[in-house]
Structure 1
Amino acid sequence: MKIKRVRIENFCCLRSLDVSFDSITSLIGPTGVGKSTVLRALDWFFNGEKGGILSEEDVHSAAETKRIRVEVEFDGLTASDRSMLGHYAPDGLDTLSIWRTWEDGEDRITGKALAYPPFERIREGGGSREKTAAYKALRDQDPALGLPAVRSWDAAEAEMRS
């Protein structure tokens, strides 16, 4: 298994970053652009608090929410990888995304294998306004889901997580 892609949101100096990885990937740039922050985000993703306890000071200063998110997409999963990852990586899956979020002191890990596809399409949308509109459209289209009315993207995200 190898890292294929990393997405980092609201972590220190990185408001939004999407990096694709190859067999060998170098992070090159001047001092202060976030190279070490990418590595620190990955350390937190893999090691949790052992990689350093997060606080509100680690949230990007211009973030709309107090949430940090680091998503890692893995590729080339073997049977052994799937066995180790359990329900996160069902049989037949070659690529897997797992993300770690920190919000208001709460740290949680989620895998894409457990995600509801319509919710993922909403999360992949544009900005907060567009995502909130997509949530409301899904709520109207499928009342059987029992989704409550919301006024913000944060509230919609919380409802989809629950």
Structure 2
Amino acid sequence: MATNYSILFVCLGNICRSPLADGLMVHEVNKRGIAAQFKIDSAGTYAGHSGERADKRMRKTAANHGVELNSIARQFIINDFDKFEHIVVMDDSNLNNVLNLARNNSDREKVVKLRTFDNQKSGKDVDDPYYGGISGFENCYNVVSESIVNFLDKLLKQD
């Protein structure tokens, strides 16, 4: 397989959901031995956490499942449309914010909600666990993990 995949995961602050999706995708492609074919990153539509690591509760939840979150928060920028073929957002707010920056239909066609790939193809939001308890982080992990595996499987089937 010579195809290279470039994927950007986007949430609000880039400290909970998108770093988790980023880390889970890295974990999954490493597990399958196909990491060299992938460029994976995450960003937020809000710049307030730029330069920070993922929320410690999200890092702990992921670590409990054997997944490391190494991303550093940054803001989504227009040039990301040029660098990534898939821009995967966590909720409707992120979707609208990213689409508002799109310059053309080509940019818009790259953007999809992560839960389009959950087992029900629900297209629902990935709930932000930031203001909730640890159970919210665990729920977020389960939803994102299921969707990441399905998304990766779909990408690989297209080739």
* TM-score computed with the length of structure 1 as normaliser: 0.29
Q: Return the TM-score normalized by structure 2.
A: 0.29
In terms of fraction of residues, the more helix-rich structure is: 2
**Which one scores higher on RCO, CA 8 angstroms, separation ≥ 6?**
2
Judging by fraction of residues, say which structure has more strand. Answer: 1
Q: Which has the larger radius of gyration?
A: 1
